[in-house]
Amino acid sequence: MTSPSIPDALRQALQQQFQHRFSQGDSTRQQHGRDESVHDPMLPGGVVFAENVEEIRLTVAMCAEHGVPVIPYGVGSSVEGHVLAPGGGISLDLSGMNQIIVIHAEDGDATVQAGVTRKQLNDALKGTGLFFPIDPGADATLGGMAATRASGTNAVRYGTMRDNVMATTTVLADGRIMKTGGRARKSSAGYDLTRLLVGSEGTLGIMAELTVKLYPIPEAISAAVCSFPDVDSAVQTVIQTIQLGVPVARIELLDALSLKAINLFSKTTLAEAPTLFFEFHGSPASVEEQAQTVQGIADDLGGTHFEWAARPEDRSRLWQARHDAYFACLQLKPGCRCFPTDVCVPISRLAECIAATNEDIAQVSIPIALFGHVGDGNFHLVVLVDTGNEQDMAEAAWISQRVVERAIAMEGTCTGEHGIGLGKRKYLCLEHGEIAVEVMRSIKQALDPHNILNPGKVLPPAR
Amino acid sequence: MTSPSIPDALRQALQQQFQHRFSQGDSTRQQHGRDESVHDPMLPGGVVFAENVEEIRLTVAMCAEHGVPVIPYGVGSSVEGHVLAPGGGISLDLSGMNQIIVIHAEDGDATVQAGVTRKQLNDALKGTGLFFPIDPGADATLGGMAATRASGTNAVRYGTMRDNVMATTTVLADGRIMKTGGRARKSSAGYDLTRLLVGSEGTLGIMAELTVKLYPIPEAISAAVCSFPDVDSAVQTVIQTIQLGVPVARIELLDALSLKAINLFSKTTLAEAPTLFFEFHGSPASVEEQAQTVQGIADDLGGTHFEWAARPEDRSRLWQARHDAYFACLQLKPGCRCFPTDVCVPISRLAECIAATNEDIAQVSIPIALFGHVGDGNFHLVVLVDTGNEQDMAEAAWISQRVVERAIAMEGTCTGEHGIGLGKRKYLCLEHGEIAVEVMRSIKQALDPHNILNPGKVLPPAR
């Protein structure tokens, strides 16, 4: 796709300011014009590699002067087209903003630049007795995770980025630098701008620095795998566990196809059946109690092969396999891409939602793996397509629309953790209603009147 | 105070629509023109008693047509002047909106009208095995609690209204009815309008219905009281408990004066010394483990009289005494009123913040009790004043300003849970900076361009 060119004056100004950290090279633009989704690439006119808040401010101010879009970019692991440049403009790569500014171990918080990744933060926390729990599949940047309101396997216990971003330093559309939130654990002081930015996908401001919550590493951790005769038994186990209030840290469902993919990819020998992965955090006694309760529920529902991974290295192998599920599934159909979908429903509707989705899956020819963070009512479809094959794409679109509409009909959401990006704009009004979307538009208009911050994302085109 | 009168056409329209549920009587207006604070009453021109969303919509639309302010009113338990009518207008009393619309026990959520109080909701939950944990001192309405981002004694474990409002039905300034959020436990679908409304104090929209999270009643609950030789030992006990990650449900500090007031008011015989109230939730084994850990910390720091309240009736008596602390303190100085202040700081600064505050308290002549939700770093001053006494008022203003400025200097907040209202507008820029406050103003302008929703609250006057 050809993108609108960058005005000469802006190009010159960016070159002068950023030297080799401004690039218009084809490969750099191609790398920044796509993400993990099936969306056709849409290339930016150039890429700026920023290293601090002031450089973000300068880039935004220069682009604003010329009415040129700015698209923040972390590591490109988004899956709904968030980093694509449908109107060209400048991709603002924040991966060089990888400084951990301060760790307040005594308060359980850390302030980092937006390009720090979740694994980098956890590495830096070694020796503090603390960890940062939010873990989307990829080793995403914290800025990107905040922008998409990401979560992952630990959310059922530790919440999502919504709950764990305490404060931000954000560059506004006109180049002003705004501080939001603070380090107090709670506050009633004014509008919650931090929560407004989290999940706004770079359309209201560019988060340059973040303060996030940290948690004590539990005294005891125990993980387990259990397979089930069918998906419904596994889901019923989840529902009963959550309804009983067991403070489980992770409870993940993977279907038989996911397990097959994992075994192939990770050289594991797990039963290729619907499976739950569990993890329990707490004191030794409380972990044992939680585990017994959940094992009892699973036993009653026909769970078998309840295998414990108490040693850290076994746990790591287990969760690495879980985190690799997405990439493992991609290997099931060589050369394919993934048409991803994630939805989230109230837990009481989860079994029904997954059962109906599996009926849909049975009707199409493309491979579709189902797994997810079912403790929250959240699951993903990894829909494998040859993007050049019209039938593949039509089937994928049909499945995606079916599962989204079903989730919304069940008072759920069209995306539990991936975000709207380009791919799910068409469902925003269905989920929230026209009035809420009009209000979102009026907020966008108030904060970015010239529509230069990641234009075309989140909000569907006005009618 | 004389308030601007209501235009005749509006008065007639309201009378015709609401009959006896529209009042311009003096006593009704007086009741709706004051709250629990020391602010001089500011009366509305009239009061509408709404019973459903449509009546809120009608009232707002009628008032919008005439450019007349609308001030939402719950039970008037706010403490920063939130419900006062500085520009006259219509007080919209939502206490008649007391229907519990639906309880989804299986999903742990309930949808209620905004006038339902926290005790009413918990009464309705009897038999479900669930409870709603947020408990400000008063039996406030859930609408009011959401509007001020309230919390209370359970917030250290269960979060605040920020974390526990899932969805709203909100009437906008032009009378449109908006739905926000949903019943999924998480979502990445668009801007977080629910969180924007929570804490906006009725200035961006009027929340008419709310969906809130519920929690399983813990299998075991245990409460305890422990007194300390000085405030610092008590605070150090709190800090160590939180830093160890003990999942304590409640941990409350009360100073010696608060204990004296409680003993007088509640006929208790607690030691009149700095005291911590604890509560532990979980399985029997986990509760015992938590209690042992905390008792060990307290013992090391000189805690004495560690008294357990295991029976439900003893626990209720204990927490009723804690909840009555505010009213108990008011009795210390007959005829006085309270000049309330609440601040919140990062836990590592709590001891220092309280110690410096106690040095200030020693310098004034008025009685000041200190207590609060110290597990979050949040504490209150109950500053007792004769509002007619200039020295009292000057001392109260000095103390309040000192503690707020100190909290902000420690990266804390000028209000942990009371809100901004009229009383703390002057600190909003100090805490958040001019740019964030400008952005808040631009959001207010976008959502309420004619400034009819609770005007004069939250945002300081523009320079």
**ipTM, 2 dp:** 0.97
CA angle B181/B184/B185 to nearest 5° reads 100
A356 shares a domain with A403: yes
Please write the tens of the pLDDT for every residue from A246-285. Answer: 999 999 999 999 999 999 999 999 999 999 999 999 988 8
Same domain, yes or no: B252 and B231: yes
Question: Is 60 exceeded by the pLDDT of residue B364?
Answer: yes
Contacts of A404 in chain B (CB under 8 A): none
Q: Is residue B451 part of a domain?
A: no
pLDDT of B216 reads 95
User: Which strands sit side by side in the sheet containing A109-113, from one edge to the other?
Assistant: A100-104, A109-113, A206-213, A165-171, A177-181
Maximum distance among all alpha carbons in chain A?
Answer: 70
| CATH number for position A344 | 3.30.70.2740
Among A326, A352, A387, identify where a domain stops.
Answer: A326
Per-position b or e across B191-220, b if 16+ CB within 10 A of its CB:
bbbbbbbbbbbbbbbbbbbbbbbbbbebee
- How far does A267 lie from chain B, in Å, by closest CA? 33
DSSP state at residue B117: B
Q: Are A243 and B106 an interchain contact pair (Cβ–Cβ within 8 Å)? A: yes
Cross-chain Cβ contact A378/B185 below 8 Å: yes
Q: Which residues of A touch B160 (CB under 8 A)?
A: 186
Res B35: pLDDT: 93
Beta-bridge partner residues of B98: none
Residues A186 and A199 in one domain: yes
User: Between A and B, how many CB-CB pairs are < 8 A?
Assistant: 283
- From the list A162, A198, A439, which residue is nearest B447 (CB)? A439
Same domain, B237 and B271: yes
CA nearest neighbour of B454 among B2, B32, B14: B32
Domain range enclosing B267:
220-326
Mean pLDDT of B4-33: 96
Q: Is A52 within the bounds of a domain?
A: no
Q: Supply the pLDDT for residue A4.
A: 64
**Mean pLDDT of successive 10-residue segments in chain A (463 residues)?**
77 98 97 92 97 98 98 96 97 98 97 98 97 95 98 96 98 98 98 98 98 96 95 95 92 96 93 96 90 95 87 89 91 90 96 97 97 96 95 96 98 98 97 98 98 98 82
Q: Are residues B393 and B420 in the same domain?
A: yes
Catalogue the E-assigned strands of B45-189: 46-49, 70-73, 90-93, 100-104, 109-113, 130-131, 165-171, 177-181
Do B185 and A443 count as a contact with CB atoms less than 8 A apart?
Answer: no
Q: What is the pLDDT of residue B2?
A: 46
**Sheet harboring B70-73: ordered strands across?**
B22-23, B46-49, B90-93, B70-73
Q: How far is CA A195 from the centre of its chain?
A: 16
Kindly state whether residues B245 and B312 are assigned to the same domain: yes
State the sign of the Cα–Cα–Cα–Cα dihedral A43, A45, A49, A53: negative
Last residue of a domain, one of B216, B233, B266: B216
Query: pLDDT per residue over B289-341, tens digit each?
Result: 999 999 999 999 999 978 888 788 989 988 989 988 999 999 999 889 988 89
Least CB–CB distance from A432: residue in B190, B195, B445: B190
Q: Are residues B112 and B211 in the same domain?
A: yes
On whether residue B441 sits in a domain, the answer given is no
CATH number for the domain spanning A195: value is: 3.30.465.10
pTM: 0.97
| Residue A391 falls inside a structural domain | yes
Same structural domain, A161 and A119: yes
From the list B180, B289, B347, which residue is nearest A286 (CB)? B289
Shortest distance, CA B292 to any CA of chain A (angstroms): 12
CB B89 within 8 A of CB B69: yes
Q: Which of B31, B29, B2, B138 is nearest to B90 (CA)?
A: B29
Burial profile B318-339: b = 16 or more Cβ within 10 angstroms, e = fewer: bbebbbbbbbbbbebbeebbbb
Residue type at position A37: S
Smallest Cα distance from A115 to chain B, Å: 20
Nearest-by-Cβ selection for B435 from A104, A178, A443: A178
pLDDT at B206 over 80: yes
CA dihedral B196, B202, B206, B207 (to 10 degrees): 60
For residues A206 and A265, state if they share a domain.
no
Residue B160 is which amino acid?
T
Inter-chain contact B186–A216, Cβ cutoff 8 Å? no
Dihedral angle computed from the Cα positions of residues A235, A239, A240 and A242, in that order, rounded to the nearest 10 degrees? 130
Pairwise CA distance, residues B138 & B323, whole Å: 8
Best residue in A186, A352, A414 for a mutation probing chain B (most B CBs within 10 Å): A186
Question: To probe the interface with A, which of B82, B106, B187 has the most A CB atoms within 10 Å?
Answer: B187
Would the CB atoms of B447 and A440 count as touching at under 8 Å?
no
pLDDT at B3: 53
pLDDT of residue B279: 96
Q: How far is A242 from chain B (nearest CA, A)?
A: 9
Distance from CA of B453 to the nearest CA of A (A): 15
* Residue A231 sits in the same domain as residue A295: yes
Q: Given this model, what pLDDT does residue B38 score? A: 87
CA A328 – CA B449 distance, rounded (Å): 52
Instruction: State the pLDDT at residue B428.
Output: 98
pLDDT of residue B4: 64
In the predicted structure, residue B257 carries a pLDDT above the cut 60: yes
Query: Which residue of A57, A191, A343, A347 is the best one to mutate when testing the B interface, meaning the one whose CB has the most B CBs within 10 A?
Result: A191
- The pairs formed by B181-184 with CB atoms below 8 angstroms and a separation of 24 or more are B181/B211, B182/A411, B182/A412, B182/A413, B182/A431, B183/A346, B183/A411, B183/A412, B183/B104, B183/B107, B183/B109, B183/B211, B184/A344, B184/A345, B184/A346, B184/A376, B184/A377, B184/A378, B184/A407, B184/A411, B184/A412, B184/A413, B184/A416
Chain B contact probe: residue of A107, A161, A187, A342 with most B CBs at under 10 A: A187
Collect all residues of chain B within an 8 Å Cβ-Cβ radius of residue A443.
Answer: 191, 196, 443, 446-447
Tell whether B361 is covered by a domain.
yes
* From A200, A416, A445, residue closest to B187, measured CB to CB: A416
Residue A80 in domain: no
CA B301 to chain centre: 31
> Is residue B199 within 8 Å of residue B149, measured between CB atoms?
yes
Q: Are residues B107 and B193 in the same domain?
A: yes
Orientation of helix B312-323 relative to helix B256-266, angle to 10°:
120
Of the three residues A295, A326, A357, the one that is the final residue of a domain is A326
Whether A23 maps to a domain, the answer reads no
A108, A179, A416 member nearest B436 (Cβ): A179
B240 contacts in chain A (CB < 8 Å): none
Determine the residue among B185, B194, B286, B353 to mutate to test chain A binding: the one whose Cβ has the most chain A Cβ atoms within 10 Å. Answer: B185
Please indicate whether, in this complex, the C-beta atoms of A439 and B155 are within 8 angstroms of each other: no
Q: Are A201 and A243 in the same domain?
A: no
Q: What's the number of domains chain A is made of?
A: 3
- A404 domain-assigned: yes
Mean pLDDT for B394-410 is 97
